[in-house]
Chains A and B, each alone.
Chain A
Amino acid sequence: MYDILFFLTLIVVGYIFGTVIEKRHFKSLMMREEQMLYLPTIALKKPLDDEGIVRSELVNGSVVISIDFFKKFVAGLINFFGGNITVYESLIDRARREATLRMKESAKDASEIINIKIETSSISKNTKGIGAIEVLAYGTAIYR
């Protein structure tokens, strides 16, 4: 009985806190993305324009976000039936956008960031506990 109560508490706490944190994060992401919109981020290998480049440097941004118990529970449920794990999709989206933003924020004076790569790794993958995701975004900042 106590097991079930404990389990339900974890799920409810996970849902409430997870939802609040996620909403806040998305809000902050949208605001900051608008602020950093002036800086072009490009996946091309070469700059759009070779003229006037004074220097370039490697920039990166990384973030680690933990899943919550509710997300884990829902993902476990979906494992039975198959289908999109939307609770993870939003998590990964947050991590990707946050990492890209951090990368941009680390090169505020650059004229553009080129050759952007995004990599991901999962932390505590094979343990029974709650996992976390790391997303790393890196690219070459071009200064003119």
Chain B
Amino acid sequence: MKYTHKLPDASVNAPEKSVLLETGKLLAVLFIVGIVFYFSLNMLLNFVVERITPVQEKQLISLIDFTPMMENEKENDYLQELTDKLTPCLSLPYSIKTYMIDTKEPNAFAMPSGKIYITKGMLEEIQNENELVGIIGHELGHFKHKDHLRGLGNSLILAFMSLFLENNYGTLFDTSLQLSHAKYSQKAEFEADIFGLSAMQCGYGNVVSSTTLFERMNDGNKWIYFLETHPDFTSRIEKMKAEIVEKGYNLEANITPLKEKF
């Protein structure tokens, strides 16, 4: 038997391929699949949320323990008192609790289990009680329109999808998960504004100063964080003003100063 000297042929076991091109194709397919999956799940979510009654919602929420939702939440009697003035206008089967959280970015959000969070940064920007009532009214609007359920469902969808990617790219999704709880669609924000006005009129007796905070937000760059979740203030102010005129809400009242400094 004769031995033949032979060099290994690299093209057999490690064929040269354009790795970048392959990766690009895979990423594109994965991206499209992810988007389709995400939007179909969201459509399903909307379908379900629209059919949930407030009573069913209460039962559903009681199944999940939301207690340590925010680490630095603080109860505040003044905020709660204002909230309690507006809640009878909603007829929700669960009670709404309003908390202050010690965060600098001005923001406010409605969370499942009937909790409203207003950041310290936001409270410091508020100049009178009317504006504060406006904010609470707006957040109550999210409860009324079940936006908090949509937000929760959305977070769950993202968490579910991130499970698939957990092994390799889990970290990518953490950021989006944290932000998603405060992100509602622009339409939801408009509707919450409109509802906020009606709640303000119903529980507080007037809608004075309901748009002034937004007007101040319109200029000034410290609102960038808030702008990300609540875009387009100009059209929101316009819509609110049109609604006030159309419904004939009370604008003839004095501005009430804040009873407590934040």
* A is bound by B: yes
What residues make up the interface of A, taking CB atoms closer than 8 Å to B?
A: 1, 3-4, 6-7, 15, 26, 30, 33-34, 37-38, 40, 42, 48, 72-74, 76-81, 86-87, 89-90, 92-94, 96-97, 112, 128
Question: Please, what's the 1-or-0 string for B57-95, where 1 marks a CB less than 8 Å from any CB in chain A?
Answer: 000000000000000000000000000000000000000
- Closest approach, in angstroms, between the C-beta of B223 and any C-beta of chain A? 18
Q: Which residue of A lies closest to B12 (CB)?
A: A93
> A28 CA to B112 CA in the complex, in Å?
62
- With contacts A4-B172, A93-B14 known, is A86 near B8, CB below 8 A? no
Check A76–B175 contact: CB distance below 8 A: no
- The segment from B122-130, B163-171, B181-189, B210-218 that touches chain A is B163-171
Check A77–B8 contact: CB distance below 8 A: no
Contacts of A97 in B (CB 8 A): 8
- Closest approach, in angstroms, between the C-beta of A140 and any C-beta of chain B? 15
Check B26–A90 contact: CB distance below 8 A: no
Partner of B171 from the list A7, A76, A86 (CB cut-off 8 Å) is: A7
- With contacts A33-B8, A37-B7, A77-B30 known, is A90 near B14, CB below 8 A? yes
* Residue of B1, B14, B17, B20 with most partner-chain A CB within 10 A: B14
Partner of A87 from the list B1, B19, B164, B168 (CB cut-off 8 Å) is: B19
Question: A-B pairs with CB below 8 Å: how many?
Answer: 70
What residues make up the interface of B, taking CB atoms closer than 8 Å to A?
A: 1, 3, 5, 7-8, 10, 13-15, 17, 19-20, 22-23, 26-27, 29-30, 164, 167-169, 171-172, 174-175
Check B174–A86 contact: CB distance below 8 A: no
Check A86–B169 contact: CB distance below 8 A: no
Contacts of B22 in A (CB 8 A): 74, 86
Contacts of B172 in A (CB 8 A): 3-4, 7
Q: Which residue of A lies closest to B174 (CB)?
A: A3
Check B14–A33 contact: CB distance below 8 A: no
Check B26–A42 contact: CB distance below 8 A: no
Q: With A37-B5, A81-B29 given, name 9 new contacts (CB 8 A).
A: A7-B172, A34-B7, A40-B3, A48-B1, A72-B168, A76-B168, A77-B23, A89-B13, A96-B13
Q: Give 10 pairs: A residue, B residue, CB < 8 Å, sorted on A.
A: A26-B10, A38-B5, A73-B169, A74-B23, A76-B169, A77-B168, A86-B15, A87-B19, A92-B14, A93-B13
